Structure formats: structure tokens, C-alpha cells
Amino acid sequence: MPILKNYLQEELQNSLDLKRAYENQIKALPTGSLVPKKIKGHLYYYLVFRNEGRVVYAYKGKLSKDAVIMHRNAKEKRARIRSLLLQTNQQIQFLQKVLHDRKLQSMP
């Protein structure tokens, strides 16, 4: 059984490394979402994000299509990474429970 325990410990370490990588990827992405507002026939953009529990609208002005697409892609990527991070956290919790199980610890 030490082989199984070593494998589970190795898998736990890999999951922890993966979690750190996902968290770093999220930090590298721009925060918030772009919200377009039409004022007097012109389209202006605001960056919406949370700061200390409050919703903040930061004026960005007129943006190029490339900048809007970049923010949209970053938002989608952030959502995908958060989903993967959630799965990784669940896997970490499962592996920690299994490794701390008395039945596994009592096995030679």
C-alpha cells in the first residue's frame, strides 16, 4: 500500500502546483468587465469591477474594436480558468480526505 499512498501524495502535490498556476494566470488577466454606454449617439466604455465589496465604474472612453475584443476574451478566459480552479480545489479536498483516512494510514 505504500505505492498507493505515494501516488496519492504525488497527485496531491501536482494538484497544488496546478492550483498555483491557475491563480497566477487569473492574476495576470485584466480585472473587471467592459460595459458599453451610449451617450448622445456615441459609444463609451466603462470598466466595472469590485473594490472592497463595492462595485466601481472606471471610465475608459472610446475604445477600439481590438481593445473590446481583448477584454471580452480575457473575461472568457478568466471564467474558464475559474472553472478549472474549482475542479482542482475539489480534487485537492478529496485527496486530502483520502490521505488522512484512518484506513489508509493503518495499511502497511
Does residue 6 carry a pLDDT above 90?
no
> Which residues, other chains included, contact 25 with Cβ-Cβ below 8 Å and sequence gap of 6+?
81
pLDDT for res 60: 93
| pLDDT tens for each residue of 30-40 | 888 999 999 99
Please report which confidence band the pLDDT of residue 100 belongs to, taking 50, 70 and 90 as the band edges: confident
> Within 10 Å of residue 65's Cβ, how many Cβ atoms?
7
- 104 vs 7, which has greater pLDDT? 7
| pLDDT tens for each residue of 51-79 | 999 999 999 999 999 999 999 999 999 99
What are the two backbone dihedrals, phi and then psi, of residue 60, each rounded to the nearest 5 degrees? -110, -20
Please report which confidence band the pLDDT of residue 25 belongs to, taking 50, 70 and 90 as the band edges: very high
- pTM score, whole prediction: 0.76
Q: How far apart are CA 63 and CA 41, in angstroms?
A: 15
Q: What share of the chain is helix, strand, coil (3-state, %, to 5)?
A: 60, 25, 15
What is the SS3 assignment for 40?
Answer: coil
